[in-house]
Structure 1
């Protein structure tokens, strides 16, 4: 049976898996900490040496990469690894079909095979136009964004970009103070500065300063404080995170009328599903003045699949082998 080797290479972890061609559930998933390997090829060798099949049964390799892939040298946004497309092809062999995708391009391809039970609707709107454009947004180590245009035949068209690095705007005094605080540290404040693990830490520190306290917690420490429920600043941090997420997604919808919906993935939001359901996320998304009625019908979903990036790689691998 023909297989694909698939990998979702992030800023913190590299997730490797195998999948039979034309199947989409990742098998033999291993999560390898990037810091344990000098480069991608060392991590790939570790996985291949310990998986159940040899390279002779692998016909396609699809890598999802946390950073732009249309560069001569591919570098990660939050990871020191780098390589060229030719180096990847040479490593696996010229007879193998190889594709390199941005990590959120891969999540975009996942929408082709995502099941209704893999998603939770946020808000009252849930009707999608299956031919309408979609946005995929996900906060984790960084902030990934991709725009997806469904196709009747062949893979979805996923428009490349680095939307997580757009400028962040503020709409009230609290948000003004957060941005002022971050400008003293970073000069320019992008959306990723608040919508990521680092972003949670930044929001917490800024809100603490508003209370006259100099205190910064790590993202795991904020998570632990939220579990205990005894830190008002941590609770306010998560709420502000969801409000910023709504504001950014509302801006995306204004940029592209995404009647196909907005799909929220990444490591943070699915972990706090109950919290986003009762948060000000949708109100912030729809807070677009005279354009509120334009934005309000757009449905938003949280993707609950454990490995949407790998599923997207599996889907793309099937298209890749069929085309070959």
Structure 2
């Protein structure tokens, strides 16, 4: 395969790399706000590497949202894309667009043992699906299926937009406050970077506290420094992540395990390991026993979305 380019484009950052002989090369991270279009960002990346137009044969971009058709509008940033214009502007022969969590799921096939922490013990059941879920700018959810005829499959979806589940009277109080603010409460409204702040503000209102923190980073930093209210917020974040992840396991029969990905949770990995995640993940009443032996890992790999875009491109050829 001719030299290819892979990208993993989020709301804030666009990650690009060359894909050669099944490996990433020359990874760069660019701010989406610095460029008007994805073509401009990729041109900048190629010029920085000294590559001339036409030197790239194919491009695979992992993007947030449903893919299909000539035009694509990015969910979490201002970019838009026309497939034909993109190929013409960058002189590439082929553009493959894949859902970002399709790429993330495929990236799990490349994660090495030292790039994941085991949160729940167990062994992946051969032939069973695995759930890939990750809070970031939004909440991504994907499904990894075992190879069929040597090819991995990943199911795209919009699982971050499911309704936020309620599992206790306390959560019902918090949900009511979130509903008062939002009207409709999705899992992503809590399980994302901005969602963490939203949850903090809701908990302050429910508990009659005056908010003193104004960013998600401040909330997590305060929690890790011993602030009691912030720690409750962060623990509730982990509990809700467990509920949503567990619901996906039941829906999909995902005894192949759960991969927690994204940029949020690895920042407080030790807190997460000791949080209420494990309890809420498997607390499903009469179906709680179903979770025995289902492994959960926290993925710490640096560029799994890029790796997955490379896998998608190779399997597409």
Q: TM-score category by the smaller chain?
A: over 0.9
Give 1:54's match in structure 2, choosing from 52, 55, 58. Answer: 52
| Alpha carbons 2:54, 2:91 under 8 Å: kept | no
The corresponding residue for 1:166 is: 162
Matches within 5 A, 1:69-88: 69-70=67-68, 72-88=70-86
CA distance in 2, matches of 1:169, 1:192: 11
Residue 187 (str. 1) matches residue 183 (str. 2): yes
Q: Point out 4+ residue stretches in structure 1 off by more than 4 angstroms.
A: none
Unpaired segments ≥5 residues, structure 2: none
**Higher alpha-carbon deviation: 106-115 or 276-285:** 106-115
SS in 2 for 1:158: strand
Residue 148 (str. 1) matches residue 144 (str. 2): yes
Give 1:217's match in structure 2, choosing from 214, 230, 247. Answer: 214
Residue 123 (str. 1) matches residue 120 (str. 2): yes
Measured against aligned partners, the alpha-carbon deviations of 1:287-310 in whole angstroms (never above 9, x if no partner) come to: 100011113332111111011101
Give 2:66's match in structure 1, choosing from 65, 68, 73. Answer: 68
The corresponding residue for 1:9 is: 9
What's the TM-score, normalizing by structure 2? Answer: 0.94
Matches within 5 A, 1:25-44: 26-44=24-42
CA distance in 2, matches of 1:305, 1:319: 22
The corresponding residue for 1:243 is: 239
SS in 2 for 1:111: helix
| Alpha carbons 1:128, 1:261 under 8 Å: kept | yes
Q: Aligned-pair distance for 1:211?
A: 2.4
The corresponding residue for 1:20 is: 20
Q: Aligned-pair distance for 1:123?
A: 1.7
What's the TM-score, normalizing by structure 1? Answer: 0.92
SS in 2 for 1:79: coil
Unpaired segments ≥5 residues, structure 1: none
Aligned length: 316
Matches within 5 A, 1:88-103: 88-93=86-91, 96-103=93-100
The corresponding residue for 2:107 is: 110
CA distance in 1, matches of 2:68, 2:184: 25
Matches within 5 A, 1:192-207: 192-207=188-203
Measured against aligned partners, the alpha-carbon deviations of 1:257-278 in whole angstroms (never above 9, x if no partner) come to: 1121111100011121111111
